[in-house]
């Protein structure tokens, strides 16, 4: 899956210029915004494929921008911020960001993260032709269309949540550690920590609470997580 158009949102023009230089050198089309409200407007009008989003912005901060984007879109969002405490990172992920990079950063790392997201999205959408979709009672996860259906209704879901659920549901009743899930879903390029998994599981559980008695996202204490399904769901 190609991520060709990047929206860079930061009130520091020097950072915007630096990212533009590196991104354009890699062949990306770049849209710049220095203001939160303007960023939402540009996102809606220009439909970028990925967003690099600072937290501290005039008129509307990055967290609110993330909320606004997530109301209608599951486009990947990478937050870039000087606020690098664990709380800030977890909050960004809970709001719907797919990744979080702390300032100061190396522009080459940002490029690597974008490529990693594109690669993961492309791999999951194209590999295993016979298994682009998993179905359970009242739940369908389709990686060709990158959508999740619950009770026949499409729920807007960020790509990383979909990829994580698809991986777990494709391997029902198998327990995975957080590190295994980071390797399989985020890839070895990911620089974050295992609490990222906890945040995404929490968001998925909020969407899937009480949907069906025949399957569930389960915590295996001291180990990790599994998608637990009744035997009749596997036939």
Same domain? 73 vs 141: no
- Looking at residue 71, its pLDDT comes to 84
Give the CATH number for residue 174: 1.10.10.10
Bin 59: left if φ > 0, else alpha if -120 < ψ < 50, else beta. Answer: left
Integer Rg of the chain from CA: 18
Same domain? 110 vs 205: no
Give the CATH number for residue 34: 3.40.50.2300
Same domain? 101 vs 136: no
Residue finishing a domain among 75, 106, 123:
123
Distance CA 8, CA 17 (A): 10
Expressed as residue numbers, the domain containing 52 is 5-123
Same domain? 99 vs 52: yes
Instruction: With both helix axes pointing from N to C terminus, report the angle between 86-94 and 195-208 in degrees, rounded to the nearest 10.
Output: 30
Same domain? 115 vs 207: no
- Looking at residue 41, its pLDDT comes to 94
Question: Residue 200: CB partners within 8 Å, gap ≥ 6?
Answer: 93, 160, 161, 164
Same domain? 11 vs 101: yes
Helices (H), 47-126: 62-70, 86-94, 107-126
How would you list the strands of the sheet with 153-155, edge to edge?
133-136, 139-142, 147-150, 153-155
Same domain? 65 vs 81: yes
Query: What is the total count of domains within the chain?
Result: 2
- Looking at residue 14, its pLDDT comes to 94
Same domain? 10 vs 105: yes
Same domain? 119 vs 182: no
Whether 225 contacts 168, CB under 8 Å = yes
Tens of each residue's pLDDT in the chain, 235 residues: 456 899 999 999 999 999 999 999 999 999 999 999 999 999 999 999 999 999 889 989 998 999 899 888 888 999 888 776 666 777 777 778 888 888 888 899 899 888 888 877 665 555 544 558 899 999 999 988 889 999 999 998 888 899 999 999 999 999 999 888 888 888 755 556 678 889 999 999 999 999 999 999 999 998 999 999 987 776 5
Same domain? 81 vs 141: no
How would you list the strands of the sheet with 224-229, edge to edge?
176-177, 224-229, 215-220
- Looking at residue 218, its pLDDT comes to 94
């Amino acid at each position: 899956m190609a991520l060709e158009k990047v929206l860079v949102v930061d009130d520091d023009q020097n950072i915007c210029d630096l990212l533009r230089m590196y991104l354009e050198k890699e062949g990306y089309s770049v849209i710049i915004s220095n203001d939160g409200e303007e960023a939402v407007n540009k996102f809606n009008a220009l439909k970028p494929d990925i967003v690099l989003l600072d937290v501290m912005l005039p008129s509307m901060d990055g967290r609110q921008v993330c909320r606004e984007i997530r109301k209608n879109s599951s486009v990947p969002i990478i937050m870039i911020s000087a606020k690098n405490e664990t709380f800030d990172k977890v909050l960004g992920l809970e709001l719907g960001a797919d990744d979080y990079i702390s300032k100061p950063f190396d522009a080459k790392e940002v490029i690597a993260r974008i490529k990693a997201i594109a690669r993961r999205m492309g791999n999951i959408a194209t590999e295993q032709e016979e298994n682009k979709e998993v179905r359970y009672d009242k739940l369908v996860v389709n990686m060709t269309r990158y959508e999740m259906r619950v009770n026949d209704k499409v729920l807007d879901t960020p790509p990383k949540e979909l990829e994580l659920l698809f991986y777990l549901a494709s391997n029902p009743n198998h327990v995975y550690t957080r590190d295994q899930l980071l390797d399989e879903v985020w890839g070895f390029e990911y620089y974050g920590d295992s609490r990222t998994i906890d945040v995404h599981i929490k968001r998925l559980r909020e969407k899937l609470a009480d949907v069906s008695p025949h399957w569930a996202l389960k915590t295996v204490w001291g180990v990790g997580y599994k998608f637990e399904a009744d035997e009749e769901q596997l036939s």
